[in-house]
A and B are shown apart, each in its own frame.
Chain A
Amino acid sequence: MPRLFIPPLLRPYCEGQEEVVVEGATVLEAVLSLDRQHSGVMERLCPEGKLRAGMSVTVDQNVTPRGLAQKVSPESEIHFLPAIGGG
Chain B
Amino acid sequence: MATIDEVKAAEGSDEAPKYKVIGTRPIRHDGADKVTGRALYGADIKIKGMIFGAILRSPHAHANIKSIDTSKAEALPGVRAVATSADLPEPGDKIAELGEGAVVLNHLSSNNLARTKVLYKGHAVAAVAADNLHIAQEAASLIEVEYEVLPPVMDVLKAMSSDAPVLNPDVRTEEASTGEKGDKPTNVAKHIVFEKGDIEKGFADAKYVVEREFRTSTVHQGYIEPHVATVLWNNDGQITVWTPTQGTFSVRSQMAELLHVPLARVKVVPAEIGGGFGGKISVYLAPAAAVLSRKAGVPVQIVMDRADVLQATGPTPGSFIRIKMGVDADGRLTAAEAWMAYEAGGYPGSPIGAGAMCVFSCYDIPNGRVEGYDVCVNKPRTNAYRAPGATNAAFATETVVDELCEKLGMEPVEFRLLNASKEGTRRIDGVTYPRVGLVETLEAIKNSDHYKTPLTGKNQGRGIGSGFWFNAGLKSAVTVTVNTDGSVSLLEGSTDIGGSRTGIAMQFAEAMGLAAEDIKPAVVDTDSVGYTDVTGGSRVTYATGWAAYEAAQDLKRQIVARAAELWDVDPAQVSYEDGHVIGPDKSVCFKEIAMELSTTGEPLIARGVSNHNEPGGAFGTHLVDVEVDPDTGKVDILRYTAAQDCGTAIHPAYVEGQIQGGAVQGIGWGLNEEYWYDETGSMRNANFLDYRIPTCYDLPMIDAIIVEVPNPGHPYGVRGVGEVPIVPPPAALEAAIYDAVGVRLYELPMSPPRVLHELLKKES
Contacts and interface: CB of A to CB of B under 8 A. Distances in A.
Interface string B173-205: 011111110000000001011110000000000
B448 interface: no
B388 A87 contact: yes
Residue among B190, B385, B472 facing the most chain A CB atoms (10 A cut-off): B472
Contacts of A13: 178
A84 B470 contact: yes
Contact of B177 (A7, A58, A62, A63): A7
B177 A86 contact: no
Contact of A86 (B100, B279, B357, B614): B100
B538 interface: yes
B179 A86 contact: no
A87 B723 contact: yes
A86 B176 contact: no
SS class, residues of chain A in contact with chain B: mixed
Interface in A36-87: 44-45, 47, 52-55, 58, 61-65, 77, 79-87
Given A81-B431, A86-B387, A87-B387, A62 B176 contact: no
Contacts of A58: 431
B723 A79 contact: no
B177 A53 contact: no
B429 A79 contact: yes
A61 B436 CA distance: 12
B611 interface: yes
B430 A54 contact: no
Interface residues of A, number: 30
Interface stretch (B6-14, B348-356, B560-568, B644-652): B348-356
A49 to B, nearest CB: 14
Residue among A54, A81, A82, A85 facing the most chain B CB atoms (10 A cut-off): A85
Given A7-B193, A79-B429, A79-B430, A84 B713 contact: no
B410 to A, nearest CB: 30
B368 to A, nearest CB: 11
A13 B180 CA distance: 13
Contacts of A81: 353, 357, 429-431
B433 interface: yes
Nearest to B353: A82
B282 to A, nearest CB: 11
Nearest to A62: B613
B388 A86 contact: yes
Interface string B495-510: 0000000000000000
29 contacts: A7-B177, A9-B176, A9-B177, A9-B178, A10-B178, A44-B180, A47-B179, A52-B179, A54-B102, A65-B611, A77-B431, A80-B177, A81-B357, A82-B192, A82-B352, A82-B353, A82-B354, A83-B101, A85-B351, A85-B354, A85-B537, A86-B387, A86-B537, A86-B538, A86-B723, A87-B385, A87-B386, A87-B388, A87-B537
